[in-house]
Structure formats: structure tokens, C-alpha cells
Structure 1
Amino acid sequence: MADAQANPGMLMLLRESRGMTQAEVSTAMTKASGPEPTVVSQGYVSRAESGRLMVTDDRLEWYAAALGYPSGLLCLDPQVGGVGVGLVHHRKKAALAVSALRRVHAQLALTRVQVQEIAAAAEKPLEEHRFFRVKLSALTTAKDAARQVRKAWALPAGPIPDMISVVETAGAVVAVRDLGGDLLDAVSQWDGVGVPLLLVNELAPGDRCRFSVAHELGHLVMHAEPGAGSQQEKQADAFAAELLMPAADIRGAFAGRVDLLKLMELKRIWRVSMSALLRRALDLGALTEWQHRTVIIEMSALGYRMAEPVEIPREQPRAVPALVRTLLDERGLTLESAAACAHLLPEDFQHLYVEGPRTTPLSPH
């Protein structure tokens, strides 16, 4: 790669995607420099990321080896091709460390690059989508926004069979990823113009995954600008509840006694958690605060607050696996060539886009 030079912003983004410190990168670069290693300091990495020195030639290769990416990716401008554009939303259970969030944000940005390049190589560019914004006001609530989405996307009354399929059909890209534990359920990004992108935690159970995707859809539709975090989270939850459990469709299901057996029955039908159903029943006035609290106590005593009965199968993305099938099966690319299209090493491409339950298994040529 004659005259190739690393981009400082990309160096930082790639390091964060690996969850590495500058000191760890410098140590890895030293190891990658050969049997008689050249010591690379943390200060070198710091200056490289700030643009105070150029990373070229052998040091570019050491840097790439340390980060585990093809050297060509280090030279790309992270502001080109949609990296890092648009407000990022999260559905999380608790506060995460800043470093953990930065790692997930980096994964989000790189996934956008990877999928765009895979789509381009498959000659099926990601361009069209049916997402739109709904501006909330005193007269337009989060529930109204959910009803507008159902109407615009022609979703039939009743339970949504496959939430991931709904957003993919509307043109979004969905990928299942390791988000560093179970504290972060999903993350999404849309600049209002390009294709929306959602990452879903591979550890989330099926019912929570569905609600998380609906929650993120609410953010993408309603929240074009940063706002009060707690208020936006409540709005996204209200959107998800109305989208997955429309009041007009589910109200009658809460007639009579709302107990654990009824919640388990409804969970099989609506494919959301018992906790979400119980909260929906309360919000729709189907039970009192006291009745709600009584069932919550019973669920806690049985351990259902940690692990509910009735397992809902996880939904899986189909759009990106179809693009990968096009590359490998229809166009006959080798695994190595397909990985190069996505700016990944073959082992990472295999793990992210070919292997395991995330995608339909494929056979490399």
C-alpha cells in the first residue's frame, strides 16, 4: 500500500470498537513489529490519534495487526460513508461506563460501513426506506406516533408476528451483536435521510428483543434531536407498548382476572414479556395499582422477574444475510474476498456475517 496513511479519527474509532486502551494498542503494536520488536509507546498511539504524526509503511501494518483490521480500513475517513452520523439511541437497563458506550457506538459506525460495502458489492445498494418522523406535541403523543406507523406500514390489527421483519421491510438494517453484556438491549441511529440502523444484543431473550426493536423504532421516528433522556425513554416505551399491544386490540384480552396464568397465555399470543403485559393492563385500567403490585410480588417470589416462563423464540435479521448469500453463493466470492469488501479480516467476517444463530449458515467457496 504505497503512500497509504492512517486517518487519525479512524484509528480512535477502531481502537474503541475493540475496547482497547492506547497502552494496550502500543503493546500489541510492539508484539506485531517482529521477532526483534520495536518498542511502540503509548505516547506514539496518542499522537497518532490526535493527528500529530503520520502512520505509514511498517507502522501502519503493525497498527492494523494490533487492532485486528485490514490496513486499508485504517486509512478511510470516518466521516465518509455515513460513519457516525445521526443521533444514537440506546435501550439499556442501567448506566453503562463511558468506555462501554463508546465501544458500542464504534461498533454501530463500523457496522454501517460494513453493510454498505457488502450491499454495494452485491449490487443492491441501501437507498430506499419508508421511515418518517413524527413530531410530538400536546396533541400528538407517542401512542399516536405508533398508530401512525401501523397505518403507514399497513400493519394488520393484533399481534405483530415478527418485529425485526417489520423494520427490515420498511428499509432498516438490523444486525445482532455482542454489546458487551446484558445491560444494553439495543442501539439505533438514523440521520433522517439515509438508511436507519439497529444493533440488537445477542443476549436479549426473544420477548425483550421484540420490545427493544419497537422501542428503538420509537426513538427513530420521534426523536430527531437530543432531549431529556428519561422523558424520551418513557415516550419510546409508550410507543413500543402501543405498537406491539394496540389498546384497541388488546383491551378485551384483559377482561376478567389478570393473573399469572392469563399473563402466560397472553405472552404466547402477543410475544412480549409478562411484565410488559402486566404494565399494559395497568395503563389501560384493566387492574388497580394494588392488583398490579400483588401480581408483581407473586412474580418476584417465583423468580419470574429474573427469568419468566414461556420462552419466545428470538427473531433473526434476514436482509443482511441475504446480501451475504448473494456475494458467496450467487456471485461466487471466496470468504476472503467477501471479507475484503466489508473491510474485515476473514475470521471476523465469518463470525459476524456467516457463522452461528445470527444469520443463515453459509458455505464459503
Structure 2
Amino acid sequence: MTRTDHPHLPGTHPAASTPRAVADAFDPARLTQARQLTTLTKKEVAEHIGVSPAAVGQYETGSTRPRADLIPKLADLFDVPIVFFLAGRPHGKLDASMAYFRSLRSTRSFHRDRAASYVGQIWELTYALEKHVQLPPVDLPGFSGGEIHPGTDLPTDPAAAAAALRRHWSLGTGPVTHLVRRMEAHGIVVIAPAEADPTAPSVDAFSTCRLPRPLVVLTANRADDVYRHRFTAAHELGHLILHADIAPGDHRQEREADAFAAEFLTPRASIADLLPRRMDFTRLAGLQRTWGVSVKSLIYRCRELDRISDATASRAYQRLHRLSVTPGFRPEPVSGYPGEQPVMLRQAFDLATSTTGTSLRRLAAELAWKPQRVLDLLGVADTRPVLRLV
């Protein structure tokens, strides 16, 4: 995160809304952020505003600034106010190499860049809300910005770390209910966009510890299934715990995050005697509902804990595939489980607007966004009726 103080902050200077003032105080990083969010290339931006791709590159590096007449064109292209490009406000700068992607191999670089810029804006929204509302303090052992026991480290072994976090959060040894809500209660910002992103189908989930608050994004691109959703949340929690100071990209890290998630959701000492030695799908379906993990994960756990053989596990997966459209085995939408849907930022916004006099327009002005962008990131649907001209 960087902040450069500048007198021309949005809404604080009468000339700040002029293209000339924006050109004089142009923030190159804002152009990069806007371009990455739209996944446009420098060539495409150049074609829209009538300059060369090299010129756009120079704008982004800061070696030159765009002319004043180009500022409205850039604002129109990226659907932002012209003051969006002003320097002087907190910027959640996050390089894509600083985030953990669940599907790293299949996620193209420009999709990772877009996701990193998206996370940056989520942090900027969080920062703006924290000016008006006190959010839950960060209680994540090992996180350098943690506000509770910031020096507390957990074991590096995934299973041991999962057990230690359970103790730290006083979760006991049974099922973890309302996982996403618990993560938020301990200061982790969790975002779950309501709709899949058709432009980035390979982006599954991602997280980062490199901003002042740990942040997890759970996308809807792969499957709307609460059990997969919960395991993914625990997987990303594992990254935050185990890999805060390690550069992402090692596939070993993904395996460790899976091992953390399995132990965190189904502790070996608690689940081992409950797992069948012969594949009993009725029993597995019951464990799925009780422990909040999928039958597929439970079959894997059976094999991992030597309850069944590889051959039995293989046959079980085949049978599960055939059962995947029947009640009890087909995906269950996340919308049916309120405790697994993030609410912290939305409730902070509601509290700020109801008690501190903050309005949507004021918050948008602080961020130099359009009001609709604030609503989009908060997951607030536009309830206005749609005028359709025939």
C-alpha cells in the first residue's frame, strides 16, 4: 500500500475536477489499475484515446503524463470519474506475484493482474470504511499486521498449524460452523462475488497477506457448492497461516494448504473413528451435513487416514460421479448458508450510512469512484426498475 499526499485530493480543491489539474497530478499507477481491471492491452487503450501503445506505456511508468485532452477519454474508457487518476489517496497496490491463486497453472497472467487490481480496490474500500466504522481487529497468528498477538507464530506443519489455529480461535474439536463468518470475525476480509466472471473462468480463488489486512476472494467460477466453497475458504486460510512470508507459485504450497484445510475442517483425532472402512454412502452423506465437507473430500480423507485402499477409493469416486445428480449428493448453493457468505464490508457500509452521516456519494467521492462501483464491490444489487425502450 502506498500513499502520496497531494493537495488535489478529490473533493478538496475546486480545480481538482478539471482535466488540466488531473494531468498535472496524474498517478501512473491508477492507469495501470484501471487497465488491468478491464483486461485491456496498452494497444487497445492507445487505439481508444488516439496515441501510440508506447505512449500508454510511458504514462504507466510515469516517464510522461497524458495531455489534458486525453483525461476525459481515459475516464470514459474505464468508466471512472476523471479524478480517479489523481495522485494523493491510499492505493492498494498488489502485484499478481504477491497473491496465492488456487488454480495457478490455468490462470493466465492478465487474469491474475486483474484479480490483483480487484483485491487492491477491495482494500481501498475497506480502508475508506474503517475511517467511519471500527472493523473487527485482525487476529491471525503470524500476520505481521495483526492487532491481536501479532508476534504469535503457528507450527509450519499444515496439520499442526490447523490444530493450533483451532485452539487459538477456541473452535474445539468438532465441526466448524459458519466458517466464512468466523474468518471475518477475526479481521479477515472475505469477498465472494455473487456472479461468476465470464472473462476469467480459470480464476478460482485467491488470497494475500501483503496488504494491511489479510484478504480472501472466493469466486463463483467453478461451482456453486457450499461444501467446495468452505474447503476453498479453509484452503486460502491455510495460505494466510503457512505462507505469509513465502513467495507464491510453489505447487507444494497448494498441497500444504489442502492438508491444512482437511485437518482444520475434519481433525484426524475427531473424524478418524467416524469414517467407514467400507464405502457407506449414506453414512458419508450424513458426515457431509454434520461436518460441512463434501463426500468427495471425505472419501479422500478415508484414503489419507488408511481407512480404505486406493482401489476402493477409485471405485467410490466413480460411484459418487453417478450419484452427483441425486438429492444429498448434488451441489448445494452457498446462498442457502448465510454463515458462509461474507457480510463484514456490507454491514460496515450500512452502519456507516446509518450512524455517521456517510452517504454512498460521499464514500464514492473519497475513493474517486462512481457510486455504482462501490455498490458492485459491496455486492449490493441495483433495485431500480429497468426502463426498456422498444
TM bucket normalised to smaller: 0.7 to 0.9
Q: Deviations over 1:128-180 (max 9, x none)?
A: 311122465xxx52100000100111113211111111211111111123554
Residue 194 of structure 2 corresponds to residue 194 of structure 1: no
Residue pair 2:323, 2:329 contacting (<8 A) in 1 also = no
Residue 374 of structure 2 corresponds to residue 342 of structure 1: no
Residue 165 of structure 2 corresponds to residue 165 of structure 1: no
In 2, the alpha carbon distance for the partners of 1:52 and 1:250 equals: 59
Residue 281 of structure 2 corresponds to residue 260 of structure 1: yes
Matches within 5 A, 1:164-313: 164-177=180-193, 178=196, 180-191=199-210, 194-203=212-221, 204=223, 205-223=225-243, 224-226=245-247, 229-302=250-323, 308-309=329-330, 311=332, 313=334
In 2, the alpha carbon distance for the partners of 1:213 and 1:98 equals: 23
Name the counterpart of 1:34. none
Name the counterpart of 1:106. 117
Query: In the alignment, which of 45, 55, 62 is matched to residue 56 of structure 2?
Result: 45
Q: Deviations over 1:204-236 (max 9, x none)?
A: 422111111111111111112126611111000
Query: In the alignment, which of 344, 364, 369 is matched to residue 319 of structure 1?
Result: 344
In 1, the alpha carbon distance for the partners of 2:320 and 2:175 equals: 24
Name the counterpart of 2:140. 131
TM-score (norm 1): 0.84
Residue pair 1:118, 1:323 contacting (<8 A) in 2 also = yes
In 2, the alpha carbon distance for the partners of 1:258 and 1:77 equals: 61
Deviates more, 1:59-68 or 1:216-225: 59-68
Residue pair 1:73, 1:343 contacting (<8 A) in 2 also = yes
**Deviation of 1:321 (Å):** 0.9
In 2, the alpha carbon distance for the partners of 1:77 and 1:290 equals: 61
- What SS does structure 1 have at the residue aligned with 2:346? helix
Deviates more, 1:96-105 or 1:345-354: 345-354
Q: CA RMSD in A?
A: 2.9
Percent identity (aligned)? 24
Name the counterpart of 1:144. 160
**Deviation of 1:243 (Å):** 0.4
Name the counterpart of 1:17. 37
- What SS does structure 1 have at the residue aligned with 2:319? helix
**Deviation of 1:256 (Å):** 4.9
**Deviation of 1:324 (Å):** 1.0
Q: Deviations over 1:328-358 (max 9, x none)?
A: 333344432232233321222222225249x
- What SS does structure 2 have at the residue aligned with 1:188? strand
Residue pair 2:91, 2:124 contacting (<8 A) in 1 also = yes
**Deviation of 1:100 (Å):** 1.0
**Deviation of 1:240 (Å):** 0.4
The residue type paired with residue 186 of structure 1 is: A
Name the counterpart of 1:35. none
In 1, the alpha carbon distance for the partners of 2:291 and 2:331 equals: 12
Change over 3 Å in CA distance of 1:93–1:271 after alignment to 2: farther
Change over 3 Å in CA distance of 1:275–1:354 after alignment to 2: closer
Deviates more, 1:217-226 or 1:43-52: 43-52
In 1, the alpha carbon distance for the partners of 2:175 and 2:140 equals: 21
- What SS does structure 2 have at the residue aligned with 1:146? helix
How many residue pairs align between the two structures? 342
Name the counterpart of 2:107. 96
Residue pair 2:104, 2:249 contacting (<8 A) in 1 also = no
In 1, the alpha carbon distance for the partners of 2:26 and 2:82 equals: 8
Change over 3 Å in CA distance of 1:206–1:115 after alignment to 2: same
Stretches of structure 2 that go unaligned for 5 or more consecutive residues are: 1-15, 143-152, 385-390
TM-score (norm 2): 0.79
Residue pair 2:229, 2:334 contacting (<8 A) in 1 also = no
Query: In the alignment, which of 78, 85, 89 is matched to residue 74 of structure 1?
Result: 85
Deviates more, 1:253-262 or 1:225-234: 253-262
- What SS does structure 2 have at the residue aligned with 1:184? coil
Change over 3 Å in CA distance of 1:313–1:176 after alignment to 2: closer
- What SS does structure 1 have at the residue aligned with 2:216? strand
Q: Deviations over 1:52-106 (max 9, x none)?
A: 321353322321221122333322369x554227931121275111111111111
In 2, the alpha carbon distance for the partners of 1:26 and 1:81 equals: 24
Residue pair 2:162, 2:261 contacting (<8 A) in 1 also = yes
Stretches of structure 1 that go unaligned for 5 or more consecutive residues are: 30-38
Residue pair 1:91, 1:187 contacting (<8 A) in 2 also = yes
Residue pair 2:28, 2:59 contacting (<8 A) in 1 also = yes
